Amino acid sequence: MKHLTRKQKKMLIRLIVAGIIFVPLFIIGHTHVMHDVPWYVAAPIFAVPYLIAGYDVLRKAFLNILHGQIFDENFLMCIATLGAFAVGEYPEAGEVMLLYQLGEFLQALAVGKSRRNITELMDIRPDYANALRGEEFVRVSPDEVAVGDIILVKPGEKVPLDGVVTEGTTNVDTAALTGESLPRVLNAGDEIVSGCINMSGAVKCRVTKPYGESTVAKILELVENASMGKAKSENFITRFSKYYTPIVVIIALLLGAVPPLFFGQDVGTWVKLALTCLVISCPCALVISVPLTFFGGIGGAARKGILIKGANRIEELARVQTVVFDKTGTLTNGRFSVTVVHPDSISEEELLYLAAAAECYSDHPISRSLALAYKKEIDRTQVQSVEEIAGHGVDAVIGGKRVLVGNEKLMRAQNVTFAPCKHVHHGTVVHVALDGVYAGHVEICDELKPDASDTIRLLKPRKTVILTGDRESVGKEVASRLGVDEVHCGLLPAEKVQKVEEYLVSKPQGTALAFVGDGINDAPVLSRADVGIAMGALGSDAAIEAADIVLMDDKPSAIVTAIRIAKKVRGIVRQNVIFSLAVKIGILVFELASTSSVGHSHMGLAAFADVGVLVLAVLNATRALRVKER
């Protein structure tokens, strides 16, 4: 009861009261006692539970007629039940209305559960921020904090705004954003993202974005607007209901009129069959379960850190048969690291020291990777001079000795005999020479993400392609290690768009193409593909804006999960449509046969079957919320 809304509680009370009154009347109504009761007594008695349970259905139907929206499920229920009263089938009229309202109540509970799951999942909206005002921190609304302000995030609090940690160390829980259960360690200088939960130490942060542009605000806006993009299935059901209901009414009129007028059949029998037809044909199971399934799919995906911008994106994703990847930051970490150290005339440690010291004044990713590999503090007082030679490397003096650090071009230009790297990864090779003598070389690679290989394997038999701006040897080596079908290297952003357009033209009919990129420099390609998927989008505005689907962590395996969710949703929608129509057609045929052979139809059975279909379809739809790990 605690999760019921005020409206749902009132509906439950009405159903209980109507049920308590109706059940004994229903039992008496099927005995000989009622045969002696005149209609003007029986009708008002049965009207009491009927009106208690269904007065809102009558009200909605009346208001819809006034607004020109005649043909809906409320209209069908009114005609069927009031018609039953007209032909003296009082117990059937009350039974139909009570069962219909019970189905509506159960459906409301299922929808409410789906909404609660998403609301609880996305309960990341910050309530306040501890902003520095003068000499102390004051609790204020997040939208009152300006860029550059200092905020304090205490243990257990939500991070209210995007920023950079200026003081302190902590662990943050990013599960609400990424679905990742392991906490992330943050130190001074690291970026901190709104929507996370501070788990351990208090940290001070400098705000880098106003609340309206923060990660949490953009995610909440995305999730809240996700239901706006209707899928083709939803649009089909909407159009289907628009024409289906009047057709059903016309068929019911023909059933009630043609046999008595032209074949001398009993009027009451065929009018009751016509009313039964209206009950059977109520389309609420389809109208409710299809949107609910897509809504559940969006919620289930969000729980795994996958944000889908609308039901139409789910349908496109389910049809994907070609997956095109950017390489750097998508299948690889986008962070360079030293993978091989080959000393020649000095020790491995000295080789790393010379390379790191010569590059210590550069902020290039390769320079940072050399410093990380050396692991020790570099005494910059030993670095007397550094001259950068564009396209070659650096010429430095370290401890009074001349050190050359760079590529093969630098070695050749300085007449240093060097040994080529024979390592299979084909990364960036940094050669080192000491006082004109070759000292060895270091290979630096952008390493593959741990789950990249499994991702490509699980995507089979779909076609996989890599588009990269990197040189051919690196691109082909990555594609070979992962088992990607095709790779195109040395591409500029415009050339990536051109390649994607070529694949769009040649893809099999009825299928879709997905492009997976980091969302920062791949916006043109993301928007051109059937489905644009942004990887590693935690804190990336460009990713959230450009992509159709946003993966809030940097795991490519989330693509497999997203496709699996989309296919599951599509399967549930098909199951509900086929099941609903099959049951309705089967019961209608049974009722026609029963009326033709024994002259009697079963309106109560029709109502129970209609409600049963509704409840089963809704319960099946809620399965979309549950996403199992693979």
Please give the residue that has the higher pLDDT: either 520 or 359.
359
Bridge-based pairing of strands 203-207 and 150-153 is: antiparallel
Query: Considering only 247-261, 380-394, 414-428, which range has the smallest mean pLDDT?
Result: 414-428
How many whole angstroms from its chain centre is CA 110?
19
Q: Which residues pair with 134 in a beta bridge?
A: none
Query: Considering only 41-45, 127-131, 201-205, 583-587, which range has the smallest mean pLDDT?
Result: 583-587
Q: Is the pLDDT of residue 525 over 90?
A: no
Cis peptide before 259 (omega within 30 of 0): no
- Residue 321: pLDDT band (50, 70, 90) is very high
Please give the residue that has the higher pLDDT: either 144 or 447.
144
Average of pLDDT values for 4-22?
Answer: 88
Q: What is the pLDDT of residue 249?
A: 81
Convert the pLDDT of each residue in 384-419 to its tens digit. Answer: 999 988 778 899 999 999 999 988 889 999 999 998
- Rounded distance between C-alpha atoms, residue 196 and residue 192, angstroms: 8
Q: Is the pLDDT of residue 537 over 70?
A: no
- Residue 521: pLDDT band (50, 70, 90) is low
Give every CB contact of residue 621 below 8 A, 6+ residues apart in sequence: 110, 289, 290, 292, 293, 296, 572, 576
Helix, strand or coil, per DSSP, at residue 88: coil
Taking all residues of the chain, what is their mean pLDDT, rounded to a whole number? 83
Say what the alpha-carbon torsion angle 125, 127, 133, 137 is, to the nearest 10 degrees. Answer: -110
Q: Say how many residues make up the chain.
A: 630
- Predicted TM-score of the model (pTM): 0.72
Please give the residue that has the higher pLDDT: either 86 or 146.
146
- Rounded distance between C-alpha atoms, residue 31 and residue 27, angstroms: 7
Average of pLDDT values for 357-373?
Answer: 83
Q: What is the pLDDT of residue 455?
A: 95
Bridge-based pairing of strands 531-534 and 512-517 is: parallel
Please give the residue that has the higher pLDDT: either 366 or 232.
366
Percent over 70 (pLDDT), the chain: 88
Percent over 90 (pLDDT), the chain: 30
Give every CB contact of residue 622 below 8 A, 6+ residues apart in sequence: 110, 113, 114, 292, 296
- Rounded distance between C-alpha atoms, residue 313 and residue 559, angstroms: 13
Helix H or strand E encompassing 85: helix 73-86
Q: What is the pLDDT of residue 409?
A: 84
Q: What is the pLDDT of residue 48?
A: 94
Q: Is the pLDDT of residue 601 over 80?
A: no
How far apart, in Å, are the Cα atoms of 120 and each of 113, 117, 181, 360?
A: 10, 5, 16, 48
Q: Is the pLDDT of residue 140 over 90?
A: yes
* Total Cβ atoms within 10 A of residue 15: 19
Q: Is 178 exposed, middle or buried (0-12, 13-18, 19+ CB in 10 A)?
A: buried
- Residue 255: pLDDT band (50, 70, 90) is confident
Q: Is the pLDDT of residue 564 over 90?
A: yes
The architecture that CATH gives domain 129-160+162-208 is: Distorted Sandwich (2.70)
Average of pLDDT values for 137-158?
Answer: 93
Average of pLDDT values for 157-181?
Answer: 84
Q: Which of 410, 125, 71 is nearest to 245 (CA)?
A: 71
Please give the residue that has the higher pLDDT: either 219 or 433.
433
Convert the pLDDT of each residue in 565-597 to its tens digit. Answer: 999 999 999 998 898 888 888 888 888 888 777
Please give the residue that has the higher pLDDT: either 190 or 422.
190
CATH class of the region 334-447: alpha beta
Please give the residue that has the higher pLDDT: either 1 or 124.
124
Please write down the HEC assignment for all residues of 204-260.
Answer: EEEECCCHHHCHHHHHHHHHHCHHHCCCHHHHHHHHHHHHHHHHHHHHHHHHHHHHH
The answer to whether 530 is a known catalytic residue is no
Q: What is the pLDDT of residue 567?
A: 94
Write down the catalytic residue from 149, 326, 395, 610. Answer: 326
Q: What is the pLDDT of residue 181?
A: 57
With beta carbons less than 8 A apart as the criterion, state whether 339 and 444 touch.
yes
- Rounded distance between C-alpha atoms, residue 628 and residue 420, angstroms: 49
Average of pLDDT values for 72-85?
Answer: 80
Q: Which of 515, 448, 446 is nearest to 481 (CA)?
A: 448
Q: Which of 452, 179, 440, 467 is nearest to 304 (CA)?
A: 179
Half-sphere exposure at residue 367, Cβ-oriented, CA atoms within 13 angstroms? 12
- Rounded distance between C-alpha atoms, residue 618 and residue 612, angstroms: 10
Give every CB contact of residue 537 below 8 A, 6+ residues apart in sequence: 519, 543, 544, 547, 550, 551, 552
Q: What is the pLDDT of residue 622?
A: 81
Query: Considering only 12-16, 155-159, 292-296, which range has the smallest mean pLDDT?
Result: 292-296
Q: Is the pLDDT of residue 139 over 60?
A: yes
- Residue 201: pLDDT band (50, 70, 90) is confident
Q: Where are the domains of the chain?
A: 6-119+227-295+567-625, 129-160+162-208, 334-447
Convert the pLDDT of each residue in 447-474 to its tens digit. Answer: 888 899 999 999 999 999 999 877 677 7
Q: Is the pLDDT of residue 3 over 70?
A: no
The one-character DSSP state at 588 is: H
- Residue 369: pLDDT band (50, 70, 90) is confident
The one-character DSSP state at 405 is: E
Please give the residue that has the higher pLDDT: either 595 or 128.
128
